[in-house]
Amino acid sequence: MAVTPREKLLSALQHDDLEWYNSILSDYQYQLEIFIDSKSKNFFHDLCNSILYHGRLQSFFLSLHKTIQASHNKTTSEYLNSRAKIDDDEYTPLHFAIVKQKKDLVLMMISHGANYQMITKRGFNCLHLAGKGNSIAIFVVLYEKYSFSLNSVSSEGQNALQMVTLNKNWDLAYLIIALSQKEDLDFQDMYGRTSLHYAVMKEKRKIVKYLLLRGADPLIQDLEGKKPIDLSTGFADIDKLLKRKKIRTNGNKRNFYIMLCSLLIKFIIICWITIIKEISNITKLYYVICGYLLFPITIFFWILASKTKPEIEKLNELSLSDLYCKYVPNVLCPYCKCVKRNKHSYHCFTCNMCIKDYDHHCYWVNNCIGKGNIKYFLLALFFLVLDFTYSIIICILLYTNFTSKNAIGVLTSIVTIASVFFLLAVAPFFYLNMSNFLNSTSVHQKFSNKNVRRSLAGLSDVQDTDSMLIQEDPLDSIREHARDSESSEISKFNSLNVQEL
């Protein structure tokens, strides 16, 4: 059976033989239509379907471009904008390159006249295809460089965020949430459902949390009158998030000042009772003064933990598209546009920064706790525990010297009860934080998703730069070996084709 010119061209492409490929194109330079199959797939569609890596793709693409120019029949852009029936839709080569996640080929096609505004027969534009295929780098390039709208609606009535959420493309969903405005997050499709509805249906707590943090409305009803929580499958953590009136994202100094004022009032009361009133009725002055020193030390470390900013990831000068083309998505923060070189870095939505060795955001010190101030925070908790313990002991000693009807006795009992309450609240938290610190972990890691913790196991604190970079083609060495081992077979195949011709 004779081998058709198209089959020979595909064989040359499959074997990565550019010389043979050029030879075939040269033989049929003025009959390029012969390489188009019955479904209208041309050589650019075939190029998208190959396993060639960036450098080789560029060589084959430029070879096609030169041949088309020399033929004086059609332009390259005409071939790039022609549709072909693939699967259940009709794609141009650009659409097909996006589906196949050929980022460099996408850029080459656009630079050579491919119309990136064209949609498929089913009504998907380039951004929708990148979202469905989880092609993050292509998605960011289209959004940033070619001004695609995140709210562009597909033929199915969904925007980009809803599509990627339904397809469980979580890294891309996280990115789109960061890029979206509130009205984009609350966009309703033809069923009246928002992205929050779909995130709840897919049981993805992380996406639900980020949507709520960015201001998504959990009370929006779909056409059936159902809120996101009504679509929950009973996942407790998601239900708990949805039932909150509001997730706090703004810093507030109120709790910080409440703590300082409470400690100050307690200190003044104990000073007034012990020194001014009844110092002779209790233990030695030496022990009282030592106890008084706990207050300024506690306040000192509390303020130090509040005013000392944790170390943050440095902002990157690269554009968002360049970052996502260079690095793997899970080491990037779309909010800060930075590379998380510390494996425990986390973006705090209250501080709006990526904190190294993030532990938690403490509203009592009105600051993020992480690398740079965790030691001050632990010292503040330690002296706070000692201070409350001292207050309880000294008040009990004072109380034994007064009747319950005495005003001082009533006052000491109030201070004792308050100190016991605060001690019971602070002591377990101090134990938790200290044990985490000694075990090189954090509150955030301990209570985060188990799969996330498992994926971080065995990694060093500072990630290796090479592991963060996107590998242009992890199969390069395999292909090189394959080309060497198959060189004899290719030559035999070439000679066979010559004989048939």
| The 3-state secondary structure of 386-426, one letter per residue | HHHHHHHHHHHHHHCCCCCCCHHHHHHHHHHHHHHHHHHHH
Give the per-residue pLDDT at 168: 87
Q: Tens place of pLDDT for every residue, the chain, 501 residues?
A: 577 888 888 899 888 889 999 999 888 888 888 888 888 889 899 999 888 877 788 889 999 999 998 887 788 999 999 999 988 889 999 999 999 988 889 999 999 999 999 999 888 999 999 988 888 989 999 998 888 888 888 887 888 899 999 888 888 999 999 888 888 899 998 889 999 999 999 888 888 988 988 888 888 999 999 999 888 877 777 888 888 755 655 556 788 888 888 888 888 877 777 665 555 444 555 666 767 788 889 999 999 999 999 988 888 778 888 888 888 888 888 888 888 887 788 888 888 888 988 998 888 888 999 998 999 999 999 999 998 888 888 777 766 655 455 666 777 778 888 888 988 989 999 999 898 888 888 888 877 654 444 334 434 454 555 555 655 444 443 344 444 444 444 343 344 343 433
Query: Which residues of the chain form CATH 1.25.40.20?
Result: 1-132, 149-247
Q: How many CB atoms lie within 10 A of CB 433?
A: 21
Give the per-residue pLDDT at 448: 67
Alpha-carbon torsion (102, 103, 109, 113), positive or negative:
positive
Asked if 357 and 344 touch (Cβ cutoff 8 Å), the reply is: yes
Q: How many CB atoms lie within 10 A of CB 409?
A: 18
The CA–CA distances, whole Å, from 23 to 20, 26, 80, 334 equal: 5, 5, 22, 47
Give the per-residue pLDDT at 304: 93
Residue 12: which of 58, 60, 44, 54 has the closest Cα?
60
d(CA 154, CA 213): 26
Fold assignment, 1-132: 1.25.40
- The reply to whether the predicted model has a pTM over 0.85 is no
Give the per-residue pLDDT at 400: 65
Tokens of 343: 């494996």
Tokens of 322: 């360049």
Asked if 141 and 107 touch (Cβ cutoff 8 Å), the reply is: yes
Note the Cα 96 to chain centre separation in Å. Answer: 27
Give the per-residue pLDDT at 72: 76
Please give the full DSSP string across 147-198, using - where no structure is assigned. ---TT---TTS--HHHHHHHTT-HHHHHHHHHH--HHHHT---TTS--HHHH
State whether residue 290 is helix, strand or coil: helix
**φ/ψ of residue 265, rounded to 5:** -65, -45
Q: Could you give the count of Cα atoms lying within 13 Å of 452 in the half-sphere of its Cβ?
A: 14
d(CA 303, CA 305): 5
Give the per-residue pLDDT at 377: 93
Asked if 452 and 444 touch (Cβ cutoff 8 Å), the reply is: no
The CA–CA distances, whole Å, from 487 to 9, 10, 17, 56, 436 equal: 17, 16, 9, 17, 58
Q: How many CB atoms lie within 10 A of CB 346?
A: 24
Give the per-residue pLDDT at 375: 92
Q: How many CB atoms lie within 10 A of CB 337?
A: 18
Give the per-residue pLDDT at 446: 77
149-247 to CATH, choices 3.30.390.10, 1.25.40.20, 3.40.50.720, 1.10.10.10: 1.25.40.20
Tokens of 20: 């043979």
Give the per-residue pLDDT at 496: 38
Q: How many CB atoms lie within 10 A of CB 200?
A: 29
- Please tell me what DSSP assigns to residue 369: E
